[in-house]
Chains A and B, each alone.
Chain A
Amino acid sequence: MNISHDSACEALLASVALAIADGGLQVVDLTQTLSPDFPTIVLPPEFGQSAPFRMERISRYDGDGPAWYWNNISLGEHTGTHFDAPIHWYTGRDLPLNTVDTIPVRDMVALACVIDCSSQSDADPDYLLGVADVLAWEERHGRIPPRTWVLLRTDWSKKSGRDYTNLRDDGAHTPGPDAEVMRWLVEERDILGFGTETIGTDAGQASHFIPPHPAHHFLHGAGRYGLQCLSNLDLLPARGALIVGAPLKIRHGSGSPLRVLALVAAKA
């Protein structure tokens, strides 16, 4: 690396910092607040469940710690806004660098394409993103570049409680990708990962798809990632947002709650 390249990079970072400071670049928080009543994925009760977020006080300026306030927290790896590593699914179990402590950190900073399906999801909670929808998006915004996030905007994060989980006696009814589009995005577009506003990267009824849970199946089988329980996707442009999302460095971790930020150019 030569001196001019080094100084160019330094100038680039400086201009990014300056743009953030003066508001030319906005930092958008794509994260839901971790709270005890935020829903977790629901599996049949004979299976193990992801623990909800819990917080217990250690001290609050009291006898257990007169000058300090702090808590113990507990939660599942897949609770709240969280990241799925390839090892999370059986298809990715034998890949190298497939856990949150080993995935390359450069993947934690990447551009995103945002596909707006909010009106379709509003009309049909079982709406499924298909290849045709993505091709239509590419018609307007250009081809999805390799190694980028594809984020499915449904505005589902604006719902809460039972509307958010939308559980019925035949399972959850929430939007997501169909099986073919997941295979296609991974194999034909080489995406880095797929992100949603719902509890999983897959649709609520995805256990009935072939293969079941295709987002998990294809993404993780190819060493790609998942992000779920995202919010504020309506504040992102169709393309050009830079996603910063670093899962906790948990040994052999299959995923992790994380703070997901997006850098976006301020609207003129």
Chain B
Amino acid sequence: MTEPLSPPKRKNPLARTRRTLLPPSARSRTAHGLTLAAAEGRFALQRCGECGKFTYPPRDACPECLSSQLVFVEAPVGGVLVTSTTIHVTGDSYFREHMPWRQGIVVADCGPRIIAHLHADCTDGERVNLSLRLDKAGQPVVFAAPSQRASNMQDDPALREMTADPRYRRVLITNGRHPATEALVRSFKDAGATSVFVGVAEAWKPLAGEDRLGAIDGVQLLSLDLTDQRSVFNLAADIAGKVDILVNTADHVRPVHLFEPAGTRKLMEAVNATVAGTMNLAQAFGPAMAGRGADGVNSAAAWVNLLSAYALANAPEFGAVSVSHAACLSLSHWLRAELRKGGVRLLNAFAGPLDDEWYQSVPAPRVSAGQLADGIIDGLRRGLEEIYVGDVARDIRARLAANPKALEREIGR
């Protein structure tokens, strides 16, 4: 059984903050089929289009029939751990810091023998569940955990390297006026976050639910206006070194018609609130987080962006939201590339219309604040890079994969 994680002590000011080292990260282009599945939390392996056999590791030709029709498809997660080894000594700089480390050979129910990283609770000869994970370098690896759930499984040191579990971590929610703020705060507290900082812009305006938020243990409301570079840097000066998970809730939903006289201004207001806001955050908090990716139990672990699923295809009714969030999506890839060097993940949480004022006229299903918060916590616990919350977002994701042109035409009707 996994030892429960101990709450981290306060930082020793005499000890140097360890630099983040990364596991080997070379992958073939074909192997990024695994990256795609791992980023979304799916278990997918190549399957031969001719003979139907699953294969692993990724290849360009089927080892059974030499067909080149190898397609990544969802695969059954079950398997048996046939043998394992515990590594105590290695020449690899990253793994040296994480000794001992277990690996083993799993015979997957679907056929292939897979060398996998092992959860400490795995026993030779027992059944395991396979999953694809993104390691500290952001590259896909296969991880095997016992098929029977046990307590504290999430605290396994190897698994924690591949996830961004909020337990004992400190969270910053950047826009306290976002409708999901309270649900996010409560979910992070329930997930074991030590403290939650909530940024509030324009402190001179009343804040809905302020009393309730302030009454939650470990919650601090702090002045933060994402559109004001100085405000962002001021807060970073105080707390950037204590933010382990940053949840960027920058948003600005306003209906804009492309041809209306003030359309450009309205678009730029949305861009300013979201893209410039995210850029300000990235500049102020990014370096500190990327520098703390290996800082113990409460290392910097993840950056979360809340994005509209309309970032993936322009929905004319919310055209400015689509444009601004599409730009945020691009910015997130830029930022992810930087954070990855520091071992910090970036999770984009795509959601359809939220159940809030600005989407009042949009027919159901809409995404509730609780649904969004639960999705984010789940995504962090699984170390994902992309989650799609709610039916609308999942539908857009599926249609984008199937036929982007059809999605553009249909959403633009």
Residues of A within 8 A of B (CB): 36-37, 39, 42, 45-46, 48, 51-52, 54-57, 160-162, 164-165, 167-169
Query: Would you call B225 and A36 a contact (CB within 8 A)?
Result: yes
What are the 8 tightest A-B residue pairs by CB atom distance, in nearest-first order? Answer: A36-B228, A39-B204, A161-B204, A165-B204, A162-B204, A167-B206, A161-B203, A167-B205
Query: At the interface, yes or no: B212 with Cβ under 8 Å from chain A?
Result: no
Q: List 17 A-B contacts (CB under 8 A).
A: A36-B225, A36-B231, A37-B203, A37-B204, A37-B228, A37-B231, A39-B202, A48-B265, A48-B266, A52-B227, A56-B229, A161-B203, A162-B206, A164-B204, A165-B204, A167-B206, A168-B206
Task: Please measure, in the bound complex, the distance between the C-alpha atom of A55 and the C-alpha atom of B228, giving whole angstroms.
Answer: 8
Chain A residues, CB < 8 A from B230: 36, 55
Query: Would you call A48 and B204 a contact (CB within 8 A)?
Result: no
Q: Which residue of B lies closest to A39 (CB)?
A: B204
SS class, residues of chain B in contact with chain A: loop
Chain A residues, CB < 8 A from B204: 37, 39, 160-162, 164-165, 167
Contact of A37 among B202, B265, B266 (CB under 8 A): B202
Task: Please measure, in the bound complex, the distance between the C-alpha atom of A112 and the C-alpha atom of B324, giving whole angstroms.
Answer: 48
Looking at A51, A160, A168, which has the most chain B CB atoms within 10 Å of its CB?
A: A51
Knowing A48-B262, A55-B230 are in contact, say whether A37-B205 is a contact too (CB < 8 A). no
Chain B residues, CB < 8 A from A51: 269
Q: Which residue of B lies closest to A55 (CB)?
A: B230
User: How many Å from the CB of B231 to the closest CB on chain A?
Assistant: 6
B266-280: which residues lie under 8 A (CB-CB) from chain A? 266, 269
Chain A residues, CB < 8 A from B203: 37, 161-162
User: How many Å from the CB of A41 to the closest CB on chain B?
Assistant: 12
Chain A residues, CB < 8 A from B265: 48
Task: Please measure, in the bound complex, the distance between the C-alpha atom of A185 and the C-alpha atom of B206, giving whole angstroms.
Answer: 35
Q: Which residue of B lies closest to A54 (CB)?
A: B228
Task: Please measure, in the bound complex, the distance between the C-alpha atom of A165 and the C-alpha atom of B203, giving whole angstroms.
Answer: 10
Task: Please measure, in the bound complex, the distance between the C-alpha atom of A42 and the C-alpha atom of B225, giving whole angstroms.
Answer: 16
Q: Which residue of A lies closest to B262 (CB)?
A: A48
Task: Known A-B contacts: A37-B223, A162-B206. Give 16 more (CB < 8 A).
Answer: A36-B225, A36-B228, A36-B230, A37-B202, A37-B204, A37-B228, A39-B202, A42-B205, A45-B254, A52-B227, A54-B227, A161-B203, A161-B204, A162-B203, A162-B204, A169-B206
Looking at B227, B228, B254, which has the most chain A CB atoms within 10 Å of its CB?
A: B228
Chain A residues, CB < 8 A from B229: 56-57
Chain B residues, CB < 8 A from A165: 204-205
Task: Please measure, in the bound complex, the distance between the C-alpha atom of A166 and the C-alpha atom of B319, giving whole angstroms.
Answer: 35
User: How many Å from the CB of B222 to the closest CB on chain A?
Assistant: 13
Chain B residues, CB < 8 A from A42: 205
Task: Please measure, in the bound complex, the distance between the C-alpha atom of A39 and the C-alpha atom of B223, giving whole angstroms.
Answer: 14
Chain A residues, CB < 8 A from B231: 36-37
User: How many Å from the CB of A166 to the closest CB on chain B?
Assistant: 9
Task: Please measure, in the bound complex, the distance between the C-alpha atom of A162 and the C-alpha atom of B204, giving whole angstroms.
Answer: 4
Chain A residues, CB < 8 A from B254: 45-46
Q: Which residue of B lies closest to A163 (CB)?
A: B204
Query: Would you call A37 and B206 a contact (CB within 8 A)?
Result: no
Interface flags for B265-299 (1: CB within 8 Å of A; 0: not) read 11001000000000000000000000000000000
Chain B residues, CB < 8 A from A167: 204-206
Task: Please measure, in the bound complex, the distance between the C-alpha atom of A56 and the C-alpha atom of B228, giving whole angstroms.
Answer: 9
User: How many Å from the CB of B151 to the closest CB on chain A?
Assistant: 47
Task: Please measure, in the bound complex, the distance between the C-alpha atom of A52 and the C-alpha atom of B223, giving whole angstroms.
Answer: 16
Chain A residues, CB < 8 A from B225: 36-37
Q: Which residue of A lies closest to B231 (CB)?
A: A36
Task: Please measure, in the bound complex, the distance between the C-alpha atom of A169 and the C-alpha atom of B207, giving whole angstroms.
Answer: 11
Q: Which residue of A lies closest to B207 (CB)?
A: A162
Task: Please measure, in the bound complex, the distance between the C-alpha atom of A99 and the C-alpha atom of B266, giving whole angstroms.
Answer: 24
Interface flags for B58-82 (1: CB within 8 Å of A; 0: not) read 0000000000000000000000000
Chain B residues, CB < 8 A from A160: 204
Task: Please measure, in the bound complex, the distance between the C-alpha atom of A160 and the C-alpha atom of B225, giving whole angstroms.
Answer: 17
Task: Please measure, in the bound complex, the distance between the C-alpha atom of A168 and the C-alpha atom of B205, giving whole angstroms.
Answer: 9
Chain A residues, CB < 8 A from B223: 37
Task: Please measure, in the bound complex, the distance between the C-alpha atom of A169 and the C-alpha atom of B254, giving whole angstroms.
Answer: 21
Q: Which residue of A lies closest to B206 (CB)?
A: A167
Task: Please measure, in the bound complex, the distance between the C-alpha atom of A54 and the C-alpha atom of B280, giving whole angstroms.
Answer: 13
B238-265: which residues lie under 8 A (CB-CB) from chain A? 254, 262, 265
Task: Please measure, in the bound complex, the distance between the C-alpha atom of A138 and the C-alpha atom of B227, giving whole angstroms.
Answer: 47
Chain B residues, CB < 8 A from A57: 229
Q: Which residue of B lies closest to A53 (CB)?
A: B228
Looking at B227, B230, B262, which has the most chain A CB atoms within 10 Å of its CB?
A: B230
User: How many Å from the CB of B29 to the closest CB on chain A?
Assistant: 37
Chain B residues, CB < 8 A from A45: 254
Chain A residues, CB < 8 A from B269: 51
Chain B residues, CB < 8 A from A39: 202, 204-205
